[in-house]
Amino acid sequence: AQSVTQLDSQVPVFEEAPVELRCNYSSSVSVYLFWYVQYPNQGLQLLLKYLSGSTLVKGINGFEAEFNKSQTSFHLRKPSVHISDTAEYFCAVSDGRAALIFGKGTTLSVSS
């Protein structure tokens, strides 16, 4: 069965600093990969997804992620974070079935 590991439960950063949130998944023949963000008291919102093709995926709000098949990773990055990026970030994987398998989440805290 698929599994997702988010390597950092909490990431504190200062405003305008770069950030990387790490995600590893268990190996499979082919997978679809997703990053969702959950702001306080709001539903999950898709940031970006990888289906096929270019391994660098660009999403909303200046986020991007790189699919690395050999390392089974899909790390999320942003070159300069804002206070408003403070939220919970979830990495998720699908092996083609409808069900998404989520990681436990990473809390990104941006301070001034």
Partner 1 sequence: GAGVSQTPSNKVTEKGKYVELRCDPISGHTALYWYRQSLGQGPEFLIYFQGTGAADDSGLPNDRFFAVRPEGSVSTLKIQRTERGDSAVYLCASSEGGGGADTQYFGPGTRLTVL
Q: Under a CB-based contact definition with an 8 Å cutoff, are residues 72 and 25 in contact?
A: yes
Q: How far apart are CA 19 and CA 26, in angstroms?
A: 23
Q: Which two tokens stand for residue 101?
A: 């398998």
Cβ proximity to partner 1: between 13 and 100 the closer is 100
Cβ proximity to partner 1: between 43 and 70 the closer is 43
Segment interacting with partner 1 (CB under 8 A) among 10-18, 39-47, 53-61, 65-73: 39-47
Q: Residue 98 CB: number of other CB atoms within 10 A?
A: 5
User: How many chain residues interact with partner 1 (CB under 8 A)?
Assistant: 25
| Binding footprint of partner 1 on the chain (CB under 8 A) | 4, 32, 36, 41-46, 49, 51, 90, 92, 94-105
